[in-house]
Structure 1
């Protein structure tokens, strides 16, 4: 495995992106409406959403390449991924009754192994102190919530689906639904 060199200096940047007739980050507590700052009316995109978009992009572009695996993804048991670090470092002395390194150097070896394997741990950091303990890493790339440059005007549009869900709706031949969008939203994500 190729050892990746971490960033040595702090860099600050602004990520600008826009959304047209879409929903950049729906709020599940508000019926999937676009997230909004109640005081300013500006749209919000969570740091978690931005990281998910980066992870998806890396998986799409670099998927399958060594050291570009993604740690946080759908339908993955994180403890199973953490166990791989122990399996690939069999000389690590364990604490009694725990999958946790006894020595500080061994803890660092596990965290380094995870950083070398997983792009998102290396980039964003991760807390891997679960039942299978691989330590904690603070990544060089940190985001806060992104905010639209101007206030947004969320809209709900009606949509139809050409399929029905159950037998009692079969004679309708289609079902109706609603979708929340913003007509246009330029967004700035600034460093934490």
Structure 2
């Protein structure tokens, strides 16, 4: 594996959704998630990580070191079994007696072989028979909830389906009714952090992993189009690179340099062009470099 990163990073992601549902809430009939007090739209960090995982899984399939631990293709125990095969053990309790460092070796194996463990961390307490436990790994890459820049307007429309389900239904009706949830438009902002300290001490997250992370973020909706998310796109990925392991400025001060405002005269934004993005580069702290990634 490549050497772990040496610099801390903080970043801002701007993405939008037009006539779609960016992240349905199962507790609210799959309506778009919303803050009930402010009516600002929400997209969970888990949702964004899922899209990053899916991109890496699709583009790096079969390449050593880029498996995905939390995946719909394998159970967690099936992935755990790969670590046990690596240790070459059958009697798990016996190996712990012979090798007190077995838990750490399993953790290191999982970090080396699974991109999402190396990036986001994982709670790995499900090993076969519970004999080995690599515990909770805190990953160097973390994301906040994304929040819309302006209040959103969740809506539901009725839809019809020509095909009916059963022969009995066909005798009495020619179509069935359904509901579809969406927002006309929303521009969302998420913020994230990459810790060089955790990368070096725990997971080994490398420069190669970092470039793949930026690639996955900028393209995370390109492989995720669906009937409910047909028009979603990342519009900006703004990265602050510190010239040190622990950073040269607090993350919140860097995030405050990025301003997103509606253009004058726009009451109800319906496109990215209705906004202006500004970054106060003159206030950039010493030791921090601004990078705007191509999207």
TM bucket (normalised to shorter chain) is: 0.7 to 0.9
TM-score, length of structure 1 as denominator length: 0.87
Unaligned runs of 5+ in 2: 194-295
Task: State the Cα deviation string for residues 84-131 of structure 1 (Å, max 9, x = none).
Answer: 1011122799445x9899523x32221121112111111111110124
Q: Which has the larger radius of gyration?
A: 2
1:64 corresponds, among 62, 65, 83, to: 62
Does 2:144 match 1:144? Answer: yes
Give the aligned partner of residue 123 of structure 1: 119
Alignment of 1:1-192 (within 5 A): 3-74=1-72, 76-90=74-88, 94-95=92-93, 103-104=100-101, 106-132=102-128, 133-171=133-171, 172-191=173-192
Moved over 4 A (4+): 91-94, 98-102
CA contact (8 A) 2:32 2:154 kept: yes
Give the aligned partner of residue 220 of structure 2: none
TM-score, length of structure 2 as denominator length: 0.58
**Distance in 1 (alpha carbons) for counterparts of 2:29 and 2:127:** 34
Aligned residues: 188
* CA pair 162-70 structure 1, distance change in 2 beyond 3 A: farther
What is the CA RMSD across the aligned residues, in angstroms?
2.4
Unaligned runs of 5+ in 1: none
Task: Note the C-alpha offset of 1:38.
Answer: 1.0
**Distance in 2 (alpha carbons) for counterparts of 1:183 and 1:42:** 14
SS of equivalent residue, structure 1 residue 180: strand
